[in-house]
Amino acid sequence: MGVPPAAPAPARRRAAALLLLALFAASARGIKIGPRPAAPPGVIVKYKHGRGAQPTIAGARPGGAAPSQALDPALNLYRVQAPAGQTAAQAAAALARSSEVEYAFVDAYIHIAGGVPPDGQHSSSHSGSSAEGLTDAVEHLGRRLAAVRRPPPPPPIRRAASAPSPRPPPPTPVRRAAVSPSPPPPRPPPPAPVPAFVPNDPWLKEQWALNALRAPQAWALAKPDSTSVITCVVDTGVKWDHPDLAANLIIATPEFKAAHTDDNGHGTHVAGIIGAVGNNGRGVAGASPRARILPCKALDANGWGLISSVIECISLCRSRGAKVINTSFVMGDLNVPLKDAVGNATQAGIFFSAAAGNAGDDTDVYPYYPGSFEFPGVVAVANVAEGDLLAYSSNFGAKSVDLAAPGSDILSTWIAPDFKGAPYSKLTGTSMAAPYVSGAAALAIATSGGTLTNAQVAKYLAASSRPVAALRGRVASGGIVNLEQLINLALAAKARADAAKKAAAAKPA
């Protein structure tokens, strides 16, 4: 009897991925996994000279262009709807041929980067909270399986905007560009013991992360108030009437609240990690217990969103004066419009705290965006569990992940009763680690009197991090966020700025 021929390698890889996918799904204990939406119908277009000239897409209504919506007018970025009877790829190809268009790309999806409930904790009510862990795991499997017996990759080829193509080969690892010509600030000497400020929030003992960050000691050093700094949370929205969040959310119109209400839970959880109201006798405390949080909904109830929606949110955050943007979402492909939007925001002085991702990948080899963008003021954050160990699912990178923060078994605000019958929940992932860095950054900027730039915040976070042997060679700083030491550096920066102002005022005219 003849032996059946072996299945082609791609088929074997797909079968293995599907098997592991099934095993992962079975381990999710009934948690609903949000499906990825259908292919997006739109195109992201960057015009060379604003929107005055409107190139016609073949097949659009006679004498006009397809309907468009401004995403970021400062960058001339617009979302254009594909005409009836055309695919988005066909519309992108038609637009790219215009002399008025710098580029045109089919809109793409991005997904939340973390939020898997701890073992045995949650029911199927967590509609989107495990989708991102599953998605990251499958993406990780695809990358690993595709790498088996693969010949050396060819040189990178510029991808045409007119049609999809396979993922480009991993880029040569590049260390994020130095944020300034000056050397990083020296680690401050061990300070004298500082009494901790312990707020009266009843579940503070459940928040192991705050002690790991030395947050109570930081709060004793400086007033724990970052209301002068707007922190923008680009996510699934927020529960506006949450009793432990409402006081720290921006004042908004009913229309804005309706458009940015959380129907997933992820965004509310992230917002609480940054700035749940502290010392109010209820629930939990955020890293910055008095914060000013601007939520912007870019992701849906299942944790998926369009790049165009993310760009729109970044533009909104910038226009509202945000100094910090939290991005607890990831994608594995380099996206040019997203890169332009993030780069433009960093040039405007905005600091980004980005989740590193939850696939256990080395992002020096397999980058995840936006954390892997090489801009000063963009920090990628890994997840450590209690005991300072890198979480098994966390991405890492000796050059591309800047530092770590607590992200496992994190108690924060939620959209429905869960933890002890109250609207709080425990989740795990780099999505939970990134907002601790966002809260720390906002508190540092406020403590410095607004003197710190986004690049200085990134530098000070690394310089003040608490060294951990298990993180050496896994993250660039080799350590975990140390909020106490960061605030010491921010206070020193404020003192220098105040002294410089005093000296300038004393000079004769």
Q: What is the DSSP string of 422-466?
A: BSEEEEEEHHHHHHHHHHHHHHHHHHTTT---HHHHHHHHHHHPE
Please tell me which residue in 288, 393, 412, 431 is annotated as part of the active site.
431
Distance CA 89, CA 105 (A): 8
Please tell me which residue in 107, 201, 235, 418 is annotated as part of the active site.
235
Cα–Cα separations (whole angstroms), residue 101 to 7, 341, 505: 45, 17, 50
231 CB-near residues (< 8 Å, 6+ apart): 274, 275, 288, 291, 292, 293, 294, 322, 323, 324, 325, 326, 438, 439, 442
Helix, strand, or coil (residue 501):
helix
Counts of helices then strands in the chain (DSSP H, E): 12, 19
Q: Is the peptide bond before 35 cis (omega within 30 degrees of 0)?
A: no
Distance CA 287, CA 318 (A): 22
CA angle 343, 344, 350 (to 5 degrees): 85
Is 266 in the active site? yes
Q: Which residues pair with 101 in a beta bridge?
A: 47
Q: What is the DSSP string of 149-161?
A: TPPPPPPP-PPPT
Please tell me which residue in 129, 266, 409, 464 is annotated as part of the active site.
266
Q: Which two tokens stand for residue 443?
A: 């508190």
Nearest to 329 by CA among 132, 188, 36, 62: 132
Query: What angle, rounded to 10 degrees, do the helices at 131-147 and 9-26 form?
Result: 150
Please list the active-site residues.
235, 266, 431
